[in-house]
Protein backbone atom coordinates (compact mmCIF):
# COMPACT_ATOMS: atom_id res chain seq x y z
CA UNK A 1 0.00 0.00 0.00
CA UNK A 2 1.28 3.37 -0.90
CA UNK A 3 0.86 5.70 2.02
CA UNK A 4 1.26 9.31 1.17
CA UNK A 5 3.55 11.00 3.60
CA UNK A 6 2.41 14.33 4.96
CA UNK A 7 4.76 16.86 6.45
CA UNK A 8 3.44 17.26 9.97
CA UNK A 9 6.32 19.28 11.37
CA UNK A 10 5.34 22.68 12.61
CA UNK A 11 7.71 25.42 11.62
CA UNK A 12 8.95 27.79 14.28
CA UNK A 13 7.24 30.66 12.45
CA UNK A 14 3.89 28.83 12.76
CA UNK A 15 4.60 28.19 16.44
CA UNK A 16 5.36 31.89 16.97
CA UNK A 17 2.18 32.87 15.13
CA UNK A 18 0.12 30.51 17.31
CA UNK A 19 1.74 31.86 20.44
CA UNK A 20 1.09 35.45 19.34
CA UNK A 21 -2.56 34.57 18.67
CA UNK A 22 -2.84 32.94 22.08
CA UNK A 23 -1.22 35.90 23.88
CA UNK A 24 -3.47 38.26 21.94
CA UNK A 25 -6.65 36.39 22.92
CA UNK A 26 -5.72 35.95 26.57
CA UNK A 27 -4.63 39.54 27.07
CA UNK A 28 -7.63 40.85 25.18
CA UNK A 29 -10.03 38.78 27.31
CA UNK A 30 -8.35 39.83 30.55
CA UNK A 31 -9.13 43.46 29.89
CA UNK A 32 -12.85 43.44 30.67
CA UNK A 33 -12.71 41.65 34.06
CA UNK A 34 -9.91 44.01 35.01
CA UNK A 35 -11.99 47.03 34.03
CA UNK A 36 -14.83 45.58 36.16
CA UNK A 37 -12.51 45.29 39.20
CA UNK A 38 -11.37 48.87 38.65
CA UNK A 39 -15.01 50.04 38.50
CA UNK A 40 -15.93 48.21 41.72
CA UNK A 41 -12.92 49.62 43.56
CA UNK A 42 -13.96 53.09 42.50
CA UNK A 43 -17.55 52.50 43.72
CA UNK A 44 -16.30 51.17 47.06
CA UNK A 45 -14.12 54.23 47.38
CA UNK A 46 -16.95 56.62 46.61
CA UNK A 47 -19.81 54.97 48.51
CA UNK A 48 -18.18 53.15 51.43
CA UNK A 49 -15.22 55.34 52.34
CA UNK A 50 -16.54 56.11 55.85
CA UNK A 51 -17.35 52.47 56.62
CA UNK A 52 -13.96 51.27 55.41
CA UNK A 53 -11.83 53.51 57.60
CA UNK A 54 -8.12 54.18 56.98
CA UNK A 55 -7.13 50.52 56.90
CA UNK A 56 -9.82 49.64 54.37
CA UNK A 57 -8.84 52.65 52.28
CA UNK A 58 -5.23 51.47 52.30
CA UNK A 59 -6.29 48.02 51.07
CA UNK A 60 -8.29 49.61 48.27
CA UNK A 61 -5.33 51.74 47.28
CA UNK A 62 -3.14 48.62 47.10
CA UNK A 63 -5.73 46.90 44.91
CA UNK A 64 -5.72 49.92 42.65
CA UNK A 65 -1.93 50.07 42.35
CA UNK A 66 -1.89 46.41 41.36
CA UNK A 67 -4.75 46.78 38.92
CA UNK A 68 -2.84 49.59 37.19
CA UNK A 69 0.28 47.38 37.05
CA UNK A 70 -1.72 44.56 35.55
CA UNK A 71 -3.28 46.92 33.04
CA UNK A 72 0.14 48.04 31.82
CA UNK A 73 1.28 44.42 31.60
CA UNK A 74 -1.79 43.42 29.58
CA UNK A 75 -1.38 46.40 27.26
CA UNK A 76 2.27 45.55 26.64
CA UNK A 77 1.42 41.87 26.05
CA UNK A 78 -1.21 42.97 23.55
CA UNK A 79 1.31 45.20 21.82
CA UNK A 80 3.83 42.35 21.75
CA UNK A 81 1.39 39.98 20.08
CA UNK A 82 0.31 42.67 17.60
CA UNK A 83 3.74 43.38 16.12
CA UNK A 84 3.53 42.13 12.54
CA UNK A 85 -0.09 40.95 12.82
CA UNK A 86 -1.48 44.19 11.51
CA UNK A 87 0.10 45.98 8.60
CA UNK A 88 0.97 49.47 9.80
CA UNK A 89 1.61 52.05 7.09
CA UNK A 90 5.01 53.69 6.79
CA UNK A 91 4.83 57.43 7.08
CA UNK A 92 7.28 60.28 7.05
CA UNK A 93 8.15 61.03 10.67
CA UNK A 94 9.94 64.09 11.92
CA UNK A 95 11.95 62.26 14.60
CA UNK A 96 13.08 65.54 16.14
CA UNK A 97 9.60 66.60 17.13
CA UNK A 98 8.57 63.06 18.12
CA UNK A 99 11.54 62.76 20.52
CA UNK A 100 11.12 66.27 21.96
CA UNK A 101 7.49 65.49 22.81
CA UNK A 102 8.48 62.25 24.57
CA UNK A 103 11.37 63.93 26.42
CA UNK A 104 9.12 66.72 27.70
CA UNK A 105 6.64 64.20 29.09
CA UNK A 106 9.33 62.26 30.94
CA UNK A 107 11.10 65.39 32.25
CA UNK A 108 7.81 66.32 33.84
CA UNK A 109 7.08 62.81 35.09
CA UNK A 110 10.52 62.44 36.69
CA UNK A 111 10.63 66.07 37.88
CA UNK A 112 14.01 66.74 36.27
CA UNK A 113 15.54 69.85 34.80
CA UNK A 114 15.71 70.26 31.02
CA UNK A 115 19.53 70.50 31.22
CA UNK A 116 19.66 66.78 32.07
CA UNK A 117 18.94 65.84 28.48
CA UNK A 118 20.45 66.76 25.13
CA UNK A 119 18.69 65.90 21.90
CA UNK A 120 20.82 66.08 18.76
CA UNK A 121 19.41 67.25 15.46
CA UNK A 122 17.52 64.13 14.34
CA UNK A 123 16.44 63.28 10.78
CA UNK A 124 13.07 62.34 9.31
CA UNK A 125 12.45 58.67 8.56
CA UNK A 126 9.79 56.49 6.95
CA UNK A 127 8.41 54.11 9.57
CA UNK A 128 5.09 53.23 11.24
CA UNK A 129 4.58 56.12 13.68
CA UNK A 130 3.22 54.17 16.68
CA UNK A 131 6.03 51.64 16.40
CA UNK A 132 8.81 54.24 16.41
CA UNK A 133 7.12 56.16 19.21
CA UNK A 134 6.98 53.00 21.35
CA UNK A 135 10.69 52.25 20.87
CA UNK A 136 11.80 55.78 21.77
CA UNK A 137 9.41 55.85 24.73
CA UNK A 138 10.74 52.62 26.21
CA UNK A 139 14.40 53.59 25.74
CA UNK A 140 14.02 57.17 27.00
CA UNK A 141 11.88 56.06 29.96
CA UNK A 142 14.58 53.52 30.90
CA UNK A 143 17.33 56.15 30.60
CA UNK A 144 15.47 58.24 33.20
CA UNK A 145 14.45 55.25 35.34
CA UNK A 146 17.97 53.87 35.69
CA UNK A 147 19.92 57.07 36.36
CA UNK A 148 20.38 55.87 39.94
CA UNK A 149 21.65 58.47 42.39
CA UNK A 150 23.96 60.05 39.84
CA UNK A 151 24.78 63.59 41.02
CA UNK A 152 25.00 64.99 37.52
CA UNK A 153 22.53 62.96 35.49
CA UNK A 154 22.97 63.20 31.74
CA UNK A 155 20.96 61.71 28.90
CA UNK A 156 21.60 62.17 25.19
CA UNK A 157 19.47 61.13 22.24
CA UNK A 158 21.48 61.09 19.07
CA UNK A 159 21.98 59.58 15.67
CA UNK A 160 24.55 58.50 13.09
CA UNK A 161 23.78 58.17 9.41
CA UNK A 162 25.09 55.16 7.50
CA UNK A 163 24.47 54.45 3.85
CA UNK A 164 21.72 51.89 4.21
CA UNK A 165 20.41 52.71 7.68
CA UNK A 166 20.12 55.31 10.42
CA UNK A 167 21.50 54.46 13.85
CA UNK A 168 19.67 56.14 16.71
CA UNK A 169 20.95 55.97 20.26
CA UNK A 170 19.83 56.83 23.79
CA UNK A 171 22.75 57.31 26.16
CA UNK A 172 22.70 57.80 29.91
CA UNK A 173 25.28 58.01 32.69
CA UNK A 174 23.18 55.94 35.08
CA UNK A 175 23.68 52.61 36.82
CA UNK A 176 24.78 50.67 33.72
CA UNK A 177 24.44 46.95 32.98
CA UNK A 178 26.98 44.19 33.44
CA UNK A 179 28.24 42.30 30.39
CA UNK A 180 26.47 39.11 31.48
CA UNK A 181 23.10 40.86 31.64
CA UNK A 182 23.34 42.89 28.45
CA UNK A 183 21.70 40.23 26.27
CA UNK A 184 19.36 38.83 28.91
CA UNK A 185 17.53 42.14 29.36
CA UNK A 186 16.03 41.88 25.86
CA UNK A 187 14.21 38.68 26.87
CA UNK A 188 10.66 38.90 28.11
CA UNK A 189 10.21 39.73 31.83
CA UNK A 190 13.99 39.84 32.40
CA UNK A 191 15.06 42.51 34.83
CA UNK A 192 18.26 42.89 36.74
CA UNK A 193 17.24 41.90 40.22
CA UNK A 194 19.47 44.18 42.26
CA UNK A 195 17.46 47.25 41.33
CA UNK A 196 13.92 48.06 42.20
CA UNK A 197 12.38 48.81 38.83
CA UNK A 198 8.77 49.86 38.64
CA UNK A 199 8.50 48.47 35.12
CA UNK A 200 7.16 45.13 33.99
CA UNK A 201 10.25 43.90 32.18
CA UNK A 202 8.67 44.10 28.73
CA UNK A 203 9.93 47.38 27.27
CA UNK A 204 13.13 46.04 25.75
CA UNK A 205 11.48 42.84 24.50
CA UNK A 206 8.88 44.92 22.71
CA UNK A 207 11.49 47.31 21.34
CA UNK A 208 13.52 44.38 19.99
CA UNK A 209 10.49 42.79 18.38
CA UNK A 210 9.48 46.06 16.71
CA UNK A 211 12.98 47.03 15.55
CA UNK A 212 13.73 43.59 14.12
CA UNK A 213 10.32 43.28 12.47
CA UNK A 214 11.02 46.49 10.56
CA UNK A 215 14.43 45.30 9.42
CA UNK A 216 16.70 46.79 12.08
CA UNK A 217 18.88 45.74 15.00
CA UNK A 218 18.99 46.79 18.64
CA UNK A 219 21.83 46.41 21.14
CA UNK A 220 23.38 47.97 24.22
CA UNK A 221 26.89 49.07 25.10
CA UNK A 222 27.33 49.60 28.78
CA UNK A 223 29.68 49.69 31.74
CA UNK A 224 28.22 48.85 35.10
CA UNK A 225 28.18 51.92 37.29
CA UNK A 226 29.02 54.27 34.43
CA UNK A 227 26.02 54.28 32.12
CA UNK A 228 24.50 52.67 29.05
CA UNK A 229 23.93 53.46 25.41
CA UNK A 230 21.09 51.70 23.62
CA UNK A 231 21.40 51.72 19.83
CA UNK A 232 18.85 50.73 17.21
CA UNK A 233 18.82 50.92 13.44
CA UNK A 234 16.16 52.01 10.98
CA UNK A 235 16.67 51.02 7.35
CA UNK A 236 16.80 53.94 4.92
CA UNK A 237 13.58 53.55 2.93
CA UNK A 238 13.34 53.64 -0.89
CA UNK A 239 11.29 56.80 -0.57
CA UNK A 240 14.11 58.54 1.29
CA UNK A 241 16.74 57.43 -1.21
CA UNK A 242 14.63 58.80 -4.05
CA UNK A 243 14.41 62.14 -2.27
CA UNK A 244 18.19 62.59 -2.13
Which residues of this chain interact with ligand ADP, rule CB under 6 A? 138, 142-143, 145-146, 172, 174-177, 185, 190-192, 195, 197, 199-205, 228
Smaller CB separation from ligand ADP, 37 or 188: 188
Smaller CB separation from ligand ADP, 201 or 235: 201
DSSP string computed for the chain:
--PPP---PPPHHHHHHHHHHHHHHHHHHHHHHHHHHHHHHHHHHHHSHHHHHHHHHHHHHHHHHHHHHHHHHHHHHHHHHHTTTS-PPPEEEEHHHHHHHHHHHHHHHHT--GGGEEE----EEEE-HHHHHHHHHHHHHHHHHT-TT-SS--EEEEEEE-SSEEEEEEEE-SS---GGGTTGGGSTT---TTS---S-S-HHHHHHHHHHHTT--EEEEEETTTEEEEEEEEEPPHHHHHH-
The closest residue (CB) to ligand ADP is: 199
Least distance CB 178 / ligand ADP (angstroms): 10
Smaller CB separation from ligand ADP, 27 or 142: 142
Smaller CB separation from ligand ADP, 57 or 190: 190
Least distance CB 8 / ligand ADP (angstroms): 36
Least distance CB 7 / ligand ADP (angstroms): 37
Least distance CB 4 / ligand ADP (angstroms): 47
Least distance CB 174 / ligand ADP (angstroms): 5
Smaller CB separation from ligand ADP, 146 or 168: 146
Amino acid sequence: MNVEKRDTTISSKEKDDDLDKFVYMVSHDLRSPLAAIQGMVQLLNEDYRDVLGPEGEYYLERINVNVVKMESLINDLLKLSRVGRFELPNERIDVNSLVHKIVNEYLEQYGLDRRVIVVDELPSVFYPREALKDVFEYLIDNAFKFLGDQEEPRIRVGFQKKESHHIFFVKDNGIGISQENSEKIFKVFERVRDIDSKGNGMGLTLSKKIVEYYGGKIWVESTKGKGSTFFFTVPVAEAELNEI
